[in-house]
Chain A
Amino acid sequence: MIKKFDKKDEESGSGSNPFQHLEKSAVLQEARLFNETPINPRKCLHILTKIIYLLNQGEHFGTTEATEAFFAMTRLFQSNDQTLRRMCYLTIKEMANISEDVIIVTSSLTKDMTGKEDVYRGPAIRALCRITDTTMLQAIERYMKQAIVDKVPSVSSSALVSSLHMVKMSYDVVKRWVNEAQEAASSDNIMVQYHALGLLYHLRKNDRLAVTKMLNKFTKSGLKSPFAYCMLIRIASKLLDETEGGHDSPLFDFIESCLRNKNEMVVYEAASAIVHMPNCTARELAPAVSVLQLFCSSPKAALRYAAVRTLNKVAMKHPSAVTACNLDLENLITDSNRSIATLAITTLLKTGSESSVDRLMKQISSFVSEISDEFKVVVVQAISALCQKYPRKHSVMMNFLSNMLRDDGGFDYKRAIVDCIISIIEENPESKETGLAHLCEFIEDCEHTVLATKILHLLGKEGPRTPQPSKYIRFIFNRVVLESEAVRAAAVSALAKFGAQNDDLLPSVLVLMQRCMMDSDDEVRDRATFYMNVLQQKQKALNAAYIFNGLSVSIPGLEKSLHQYTLDPSEKPFDMKSVPLATTPISEQKSDITPMATSKIQDKLTPSRQDIYQEQLAAITEFQSLGPLFKSSDQVQLTEAETEYVVRCIKHTFARHMVFQFDCTNTLNDQLLQKVMVQMEPSESYEVIQYIPAATLAYSQPGSSYTLVRLPDDDPTAVSCTFSCTMKYLVKDCDPNTGEPDDDGYDDEYVLEDLEVTVADHIQKVLKSNFAAAWEEVGDEFEKEETFALASVRTLDEAVGNIISFLGMQPCERSDKVPENKNSHVLFLAGVFRGGHDVLVRARLALADGVTMQVTVRSGEETVVDVILASVG
């Protein structure tokens, strides 16, 4: 039997795989041997192995042939050969989903599971649970309960783990075994402890109180299993996170005490848990960091990796806490495991000083080609962070990045580099030309459409304003000749921007456009024709509106409006101004650098916040005549955080009205509120038209009440107003447990904080990517200028911040960033005033004792200019 494969081996040499040329049909043919009497255990064992091997290689078994083999296999239960029986269990598990009527072996398995042979019992339970469904589970419930508390560890563990698998399927049945699991948790065997704890947590995880009790019990009793300790630490940190428990809680103490555990696995788990806690102070981090520091010099690669990976995470938020480990990290730079070396370097880049950057960059470039894409992304992100920290180093970085861009790599890696270069260009004007040159070179040979279009867009935006715009034309036109439709279309748009901005290039651009009009793709042709016609007019205003600044409306909103228009045909042309504007993101969300997270979450086009509100408000009949929603403000808190009722307000602005949406939450579990409304007393000539109360407000279920206000028609400059607010409602006491209210109630009221409406509520942010063009487009017909002294402001940064938040307009051309050590600055702001009038503000700021500000406002409507200036004054 030892030479069982020899025959085949002779054919194909001694190193070959005896299973290599297995034929499914031949193996199934052999399986007939199972029916022979007496059973030959060795031969049968070998056939079963072949079947499992084939299944493992991904061979497809049809239902009929699988069922046939399965039924033949059941005969093998007559043999008492131990290994053969165990292989039968494996076959049952492997075939559970392929073969039909697998439940035929239930009785054999039940016999084995309750039999005398301990070797069979554990595996039999696991095989049985694999083929059992909810209805049959009831039948074996008694055996399962016994097995969980069995004194043989393998039986108990098998029963616990199988129960855990079945929780998904039959929670209600498994829930009844809680007491048995509890008993198993106090077993002496470490694995049984671990499995019991896992099952108990799974059954109780929705009951926070039970979890807390369980934690208390186990943290005190002291478990023996390191796995169970790790599990406890995870449960404890999750509970801490959910309850927002302070770091003086006993749970935190428990986790900290685990830092002194004998087992490295537990120590690391505890350190990692502390590091991942939000709002950890440097002092709380210190013990965790110091154990990680110790691990850095461990001979085990996995431990070094774990430690440096976790330190890397700490360095993102608390670089100073990791500085103490710099020496140990330096040693890891030369680690033979490149993943460890990369993590060490990127951590050092975060904690190190400016002087060490050059050295580290040199070191990293020596092996960047050897590491995986995932880590290359980590490196790029570290560089990106570094560029923000030390802008002076941009030339070193840019050089490095361009070298990386030339190497092979996947999409995520290339995208990270391109994003990083773009952010450097935007931060440092002096790096613009080299950066653009690198990107131009990159798109010459770029297989990723998304990146190519992104770069073309950037070239169109930045290229025309460089000293030598003509040199980019060649790169862009090459795309038109060589690339796919999407890239060609993007290239055409970029070309148009050059033509619009550089008069001397215009004739050549027009010639190129003409060629694009012959393109095989209709989108490319359409764009070329459109731009051609716009450019030929040679009008600055047209260029600004249709080439530089594009549409500023929200796309879902536009879709809806157009749909509405086609449903209801009228003589009137479609009015763009009736479409709600796109809300520009308030600040670009800098996503935390989480290289370890799987990037499987796809970016979906989600409707913006405002589109959601628009939908909600349109559903209320009273608001349907108000027209499109112009702007929704952020939430304003009208109560303290820890009060009986929590009220937040959102201000919705329409063309002539405002709607105040009060989101109220009742935090008293013995009260039911009804007919909740917020009464508002305006200080100016605003007129409250209607209240729409929230019908009921049950405990902890938020509800909304609305107040509709008409804006004053006669005085358009009255844009700011203060409202005093009172919440009025009918209280019904109710039973805290059942929520059953009394029949009678009484009226009550609750005074809220005052609500302010300011000029910012009337202006929607709009990004004009080319401010100068927009400035020309609006023209100086209604231009006004005034000078103010801001005495209370000490720095330009502060002044810029104040103006932006006060006017609620979008800073353009990155003018919200004040260069260091400058005494003057120009801020460009763009927005749309309620009613659809573009408004642009240019504020020249000069720093003397205080800040002097000269504000120039342009708009298509005179009153708007007055409103802005009046409100600034």
Chain B
Amino acid sequence: MKENVASTVVFILLLFLNINLLNGQSPPGKPEIIKCRSPEKETFTCWWKPGADGGLPTSYTLTYHKEGETLTHECPDYKTGGPNSCYFNKKHTSIWTIYIITINATNQMGSCSSDPRYVDVTYIVEPDPPVNLTLELKQPEDKKPYLWMRWFPPTLVDVRSGWLTLQYEIRLKPEKSAEWEIHFAGQQTQFKILSLYPGQKYLVQVRCKPDHGFWSEWSPESSIQIPNDFTMKDSTVWIFVAVLSAVFCLIMVWAVALKGYSMVSCILPPVPGPKIKGFDTHLLEKGKSEELLSALGCQEFPPTSDCEDLLVEFLEVDDSEDQQLMPAHSKEHPGQGMKPTHLDPDSDSGRGSCDSPSLLSEKCEEPRANPSTFQTPEGIEKPENPPKNVTHTWDPQSTSLEGKIPYFHVDGSKSSTWPLPQPPNQHNFRSSYHNIADICQLATGAAGASATLLDKTDKHAFKSSKTIETGAEGKAAEQREVESFPSKTDQDRAWLPPQEKTPFLSVKALDYVEIHKVNKDGALSLLPKQKENSDQTEKASTPETSKEYAKVSQVTDNNILVLTQDPRAPNLALFEEQAKEAPPSLPHNQAQKDLASFTAPPGNCRLQLGGLDYLDPAGFMHSFQ
């Protein structure tokens, strides 16, 4: 029985529920707050969207509580904001405070609450649009006409006290156009428009935004009709001027482009860079004077080269043709007019090719003198091939001496400009030059301190010890003996003391050798003198600038001519005369004197004046014997 009652009750309840469900009634759905807005940061309104009402009349309530409070309040005004809204007036509005707002939907069946919404009035400010937008066309005299518009802030917003600060934006368009032209107006409540199409009807709108809030809606449209004569009077003139100037500028640009290069080069000619052959600026920057000077062709300063460069060859003068005096290369100190001699490697017979007297002083003049600036006697050919040969052969010797004897070190190539004259119609005397360097080497080798010796006595020693047996005119002191005096083998000979001067040149052949020139290396290039007279005259006409070892200082016992440089005009005659005397045995002392006289102050490029140095043959004379 009881079971029956219970089940019946349940059945009735279920029936009741089913009936209700069949009717479609249910508790309300969940409402939702759409948005909350404040038009002036003093009041605000919230709107919600109801959920399903469940088929029954549903009532909605809004409840809230403020940050920091526990009391829950209900919406003070459901009407002012319209349906499903709640308006909070000034009394109920607090700024910088969070409101937690909830909507409750209730119907007969039940109720449902929305999710709480956190609202801070500070950040939901959206004002009304500006009001009283007025448009006016203004056409002042002598000025451009324009459209002038002004408006007022929305009525509710308190701008005067500074509670809200508004910024405005206007937009306008011709009535039939599709796109708006928007302008930002800042905080001002007026605006001017200048560019307008005449004869059109324009629509204008304005909106505003608070300093930290949302833009308002656009105000209602205001319209204005632009009259047809609304033109910019002087605009055509300006357009004309602009076009003209643009054309002018284009022409100028085109002209400059065409002729710009020539103009620029006319105005600013390219500056030629300074160039000195053989001068390496990098070396100069590094501060290594040695390398610099060596690059320029000068030997080290102070002289430290060995004596290999001091080639002194005995001149061997004979009648054989096509003999050439080997240019005597010697590396001489810049201040010393060393007459370089070069040993002709081919001269087994001691013959060397002779060049005309060279000008040692040339080399002495400038450290950077280009060997190509040799001043050769003009009457003499200036063959260019042989020098190379000479240099090739000479180079090994010279290079070995570089470090010991001060001289104008010229590059190998430069020294190759030491031409060996090969006048076809001339005899080429071959004289073997004794390498001054060898002599030096002798001395240095013996001394064991060649470098230091050189350094100390460089000037004098160099000068005094070098007696160049260049091709002596007339009977050049060719010494067959010289050829037996190999430059290299006698390196261990003792270094000649400066004062010792012994003529070493023994002229065997009776032919004159003319000093062609002295190249940078101090090598004498000698020219064979075919005929005394002819050669003499020929050589006599050599330029004054050429330095010729045309003066025989002495003739040694061994018929070695000790030549000196004649500062005066080429004194081939003198040379010749003296040579003719050969083999006179000049007194030793005379040679000494002469040599001493040649001992020009070191570094003093007075070789032109006769400061040429000769290798003192005395040194190797001993060995020679």
The answer to whether A and B interact is: no
